[in-house]
Chain A
Amino acid sequence: MPAPSVRALLLVLLLTAAGCAAAQGAAKEEAAAGPNDGCLMCHADPSAKSAAGKAIAVDAKKFAASVHGAMSLPCTTCHADVQEGVFPHGEVKAAQCASCHEQAVKDYAGTAHGKARSGGRDVAASCADCHGAHDIAKRDDPASRVHRANLESTCASCHGNEALIQRANLPGGNVASRYHDSIHGQAIANRTSAQGAAPTCTSCHGAHDLRGKDDPASKVARANIPSTCATCHMNAKAEWEKSQHGRIAQSAAGAAPGCIDCHTAHDIAQHTDPKFKLAVTDRCGTCHADFADTYRDTFHGQVTQLGYAQIATCASCHGAHQVLPKENPLSRVSDQNRLATCQACHPKANANFVSYDPHANRHVREQGQLLFFTGKFMDFLLLGVFSVFGLHTVLWFVRSLRAMRERRGTPRH
């Protein structure tokens, strides 16, 4: 009876195949739900709240799209203090990033954020504040909170939050908004392929090596700023190192302007920007106060104060990164070079013209007897004329009023 047995065999085979397929399908479904099904029974509910009333919802889809979700990590990888199978579980500690990212967490402890946090300032950013939590992504993923296009807004969630800045007295104030308007911030905001390389927050401050400016190891410590800026602006640093400012900064004295003293840190602008050109005289004036004052007495200084940047400011004559004292023959204002420097704007200038003193101080006798005494004479003249005629006028006014009153009293016809 081969026929029934064949039929029976076929049936068995078919049933086995179907059963296998079903079993396989079931196994697959279990894998897709992952190891977190148990957790999501409660945490998938968007309105889920803990006993303490805290929202405990987890967006399963977002987590699945995250770098950790893609790796099918169970919740307990990060939330290691939650015991499987025991629920409802109690209060959960912060995620344990260090169990995988040991070095990163160790580095973080040395940052300004890490130190503040260990010092009890809970407002300081920890891992999730910058990287996100269940939606965490790799930093080259445009969805990442630490992608270079998103960093400004990530840092701004604290350093651009006025209320928080006031409450927690965050260093530097609203640096995010100032950075946003800076040439660096604008290059990132309106980025083209060429400008995409513009620095964002971490380019200067570092990320897991972000330290306060008073920490000598900081990328933004005074002594390290030129090197930090030179990551991009190599030539500027090379010129500055040869300038008077650079030489003093590198010497033992050390107190000389580096990049941010003229350019600022977060308000940094194109050097051709009128706002920068006009502001820079004040910045030079923070050290060279006398020269800024005497500059303001000149036509150049008066016009720039009125708000017009088409006219010479400090760097127009002295140069910027290559600034040198006038005794140095290489200086733009040395006896050898001054004529050419003035001729850049005044092509008809001659030797007499450039012997005009653009920083003459009429109040200092040593800087020129004639100017000093002319100034004194003018002061005396003004004082004399206004005193004599002021008194004359006051006496006349009082007498005239009296005369008019007397006259009004006389009868008319």
Chain B
Amino acid sequence: MATPATALPRTQAGAGGRHYQRFDLLDRVMHGLLMVTFIGCALTGLPLMVADHAWAQSFSRMLGGFQSAMLIHRICAAVMIVVFVGHVARVFLDTARSGKWLEMVWGPNSMVPNLKDVQDIAGHVRWFLGKGERPRFDRYTYWEKFDYWAVFWGMFIIGGSGLLLWFPFFFAQFLPGWVFNIAMLVHGEEALLAVGFIFTIHFFNGHVRPEKFPMDPVIFTGRISEHEMLDERGAEYDRLVAQGRLAAVEAPPPSPGLRALAYAIGIPAVVLGTVTIALIVYSFLF
């Protein structure tokens, strides 16, 4: 039963309406940790990349000097690596428990891109250009999958090069010096890509675009309203109805306290990220 999202009466879709569980507690905690450590690494690393700017010099002093910035950077990096490894371990352990290995790579809940994602990209662009209906997305959209794999790529590139630079004496036992030159280059460039991407594209896609402005609290509350489910994830909704599993994921609406907490965490993060982008743009222009 494909109900066009726009036909749904809005009154039914308010904060108190029907909700479905989208992210469990561990997902949300991991995203929270990833977010905090990512911002921590960005803010302590960026001053080095634009060290000739007065703001970087004052900000570095505010952080307590380069040694304390380095300490914060490494603590954040270590926690981030633990979260990353923990996530990967969790995916494999969950799959091992359920035995559904094929679904891990080839199901609607898989992060692996598939044919529908290609069709969705084309359909979404057609919609952008006013030449068709908006695609009905499933549980994970193509841009969410890109974000997800970008983190994987970034973890290997930035995390790997970062470990090299953190423990140079250990790695120099079996790696030549030029590897550190490469590590230094890619650590900074890839970090710029990651920071630039998360604080602009991810923020737009996930939070600040007109439908969600100023932010989408789902990653903190874990629950998505029926209205938004139909609007943004119609294919998932239809699938859950067809499988008779919709009722199983229904959840009470997030309490006002939880919603307030979501905004209390999310808004400062969006603001901090936007300020960071402004500083990067300023530093590369002037």
A contact residues vs B (CB 8 Å cutoff): 296-299, 301-303, 305-308, 311, 346, 348-350, 352-357, 360, 362, 368, 370-371, 374-375, 378-379, 381-382, 385-386, 389-390, 392-393, 395-404, 407, 410, 412-413
Contacts and interface: CB of A to CB of B under 8 A. Distances in A.
B205 interface: yes
B83 interface: no
Given A303-B51, A306-B56, A378 B186 contact: yes
Contacts of B143: 392
A303 B205 contact: no
Nearest to B10: A412
29 contacts: A297-B184, A303-B48, A306-B57, A306-B60, A307-B60, A307-B61, A346-B169, A349-B172, A352-B176, A353-B168, A355-B176, A355-B178, A357-B178, A360-B181, A362-B185, A375-B189, A378-B193, A381-B193, A382-B193, A392-B201, A395-B128, A395-B129, A396-B204, A396-B209, A397-B210, A400-B209, A401-B210, A412-B10, A413-B9
Contacts of B209: 396-397, 400
B211 to A, nearest CB: 6
A291 B172 CA distance: 24
Contact of B173 (A352, A378, A400): A352
Interface string B191-207: 01100110011001100
B205 A393 contact: yes
Contacts of A368: 178, 181
Interface string B45-69: 0011101100011001100011000
Interface size class of B (residues with CB under 8 A): 35 or more
Contacts of B275: none
A360 B181 CA distance: 7
B62 to A, nearest CB: 12
A302 B190 contact: no
Contacts of A370: 178, 182
A291 to B, nearest CB: 15
B144 to A, nearest CB: 13
Report, nearest first, the 7 A-B pairs whose CB atoms are least far apart. Answer: A355-B177, A305-B51, A356-B177, A395-B128, A378-B189, A353-B172, A348-B169
B127 interface: yes
B256 interface: no
Nearest to B52: A305
B172 A350 contact: yes
B263 interface: no
B181 A371 contact: yes
B47 to A, nearest CB: 6
Interface of A, helix, strand, loop or mixed by DSSP? helix
A381 B61 CA distance: 33
Interface of B, helix, strand, loop or mixed by DSSP? helix
B100 to A, nearest CB: 32
B232 to A, nearest CB: 12
A407 B210 CA distance: 12
A320 to B, nearest CB: 24
Interface in B122-145: 124-125, 127-130, 134, 143
A188 B56 CA distance: 37
B51 A296 contact: yes
Given A349-B169, A374-B186, A395-B129, A306 B48 contact: yes
A352 B48 CA distance: 25
Contacts of B190: 378
A306 B65 CA distance: 9
Nearest to B60: A306
B272 interface: no
Contacts of B61: 307
A375 B197 CA distance: 19
B23 interface: no
Contacts of A350: 169, 172-173
B66 A303 contact: yes
Q: Which of A302, A362, A371, A385 has the most CB of B within 10 A?
A: A302
Nearest to B150: A385
Contacts of B65: 308
B157 to A, nearest CB: 9
Nearest to A379: B189
A194 B222 CA distance: 74
Nearest to B208: A397
Given A374-B186, A378-B186, A395-B128, 17 more contacts: A296-B52, A306-B51, A306-B57, A306-B60, A349-B172, A352-B174, A368-B178, A368-B181, A382-B196, A392-B143, A392-B201, A393-B204, A397-B209, A398-B128, A399-B129, A399-B130, A412-B9
Given A306-B57, A346-B169, A393-B205, A354 B177 contact: yes
Nearest to A406: B6
Given A306-B47, A400-B210, A375 B11 contact: no
Contacts of B66: 303, 306, 308, 311
B11 A389 contact: no
B180 interface: yes
Q: Which of B47, B51, B211 has the most CB of A within 10 A?
A: B51
B185 A371 contact: yes
